Amino acid sequence: MPQVGFGVFQVSDDEAERAVATALREGYRSVDTASAYGNETGVGRALRGSGVPREELFVTTKLWNDEQGFDNALRACEASLSRLGLDYLDLYLIHWPVPDRGLYLETWRALERLKEDGRARSIGVSNFTVGTLGRVIEEADVVPAVNQIELHPYFQQDGLRAFHRDHGIRTEAWAPLGQGRGLLDDPALAAVARAHDRTPAQVVLRWHLQIGDVVIPKSVTPSRIAENLDVFGFELSPDDMKTIGELDKGVRFGPDPVTFGTG
């Protein structure tokens, strides 16, 4: 799985097609979408139009909350594959656990079946907590390969990342840039960026890479799409890492996975 991929949350079908085409031209090979984003068709068009061989691509999609349950999940995967125009996914994720509905374990069994059948090369979860992830690990045959969670310098999730490390689960950061909501204006990041002659976005993405995260930054602006992949030619020092480590506010921007999707 490439450590830097391309996200397409809140992007229409047509815009997703354009942005993914640009990203693939710039050298991205991994794309993260979801049935809930409503743009799998546009993503699929860009993948096919790019001329990049299927085996070089890494395509992730996710099943939405109303697609949970064993049979529903099998059907949801077929529907996503058909919209994407693919015959297998590289990674299929349960988008949110919705613990109150109590369907995520049954849904996980369907993902295990999809893996067995080759419809998904690997399977994982998103927005799972230590509690819900722990239940999956206890009950399942296959340990999730990935947990895709909100993670950025203002919300660093040290406890969950340690849990992932202990269980061999890869941490994938969504909102790696803090969704453009002020994080990139932080003066501490600006100072580190100046010292490396890089942008704050590149510094944040580099921080993720050095703590071991997979990242899927989103942009529809060609220059930013290129900038966000250009993060391999410099290294943050232990002092830089410490400075960024101290920015954690422990407050998420997104919904709380314990309650989201309930009711």
The 39-78 site mask, x for binding ligand NAD (CB under 6 A), equals ----------------------------------------
182 binding ligand NAD? (CB under 6 A): no
Beta-bridge partners for 125:
94, 147
201 binding ligand NAD? (CB under 6 A): yes
One of 89, 151, 177, 203 touching ligand NAD (CB under 6 A) = 177
184 binding ligand NAD? (CB under 6 A): yes
The least CB distance from residue 167 to ligand NAD, in Å, is 19
Closest to ligand NAD by CB, 81 or 175: 175
Residue labelled with tokens 């204006």: 185
153 binding ligand NAD? (CB under 6 A): no
Q: Is 104 a catalytic residue?
A: no
The least CB distance from residue 176 to ligand NAD, in Å, is 5
Rounded distance between C-alpha atoms, residue 119 and residue 122, angstroms: 9
**Distance, CA of 84 to chain centre:** 17
Closest to ligand NAD by CB, 239 or 253: 253
The least CB distance from residue 184 to ligand NAD, in Å, is 5
Closest to ligand NAD by CB, 7 or 117: 7
The least CB distance from residue 34 to ligand NAD, in Å, is 7
- How large is the angle between the packed helices 40-49 and 70-84, nearest 10 degrees? 40
171 binding ligand NAD? (CB under 6 A): no
Tokens of 160: 């969950």
Closest to ligand NAD by CB, 184 or 244: 184
151 binding ligand NAD? (CB under 6 A): no
148 binding ligand NAD? (CB under 6 A): yes
3-state secondary structure the chain: CCCECEECCCCCHHHHHHHHHHHHHHCCCEEECCHHHCCHHHHHHHHHHCCCCHHHCEEEEEECHHHCCHHHHHHHHHHHHHHHCCCCEEEEEECCCCHHHCCHHHHHHHHHHHHHCCCEEEEEEECCCHHHHHHHHHHCCCCCCEEEEECECCECCHHHHHHHHHHCCEEEEECCCHHHCCHHHCHHHHHHHHHHCCCHHHHHHHHHHHHCCEECCCCCCHHHHHHHHCCCCCCCCHHHHHHHHCCCCCCCCCCCCCCCCCC
The 79-98 site mask, x for binding ligand NAD (CB under 6 A), equals ----------------x---
Closest to ligand NAD by CB, 116 or 131: 131
Which residues are near ligand NAD by CB under 6 A?
Answer: 7-9, 32, 95, 126-127, 148, 174-180, 184, 201, 216-219, 224, 227-228
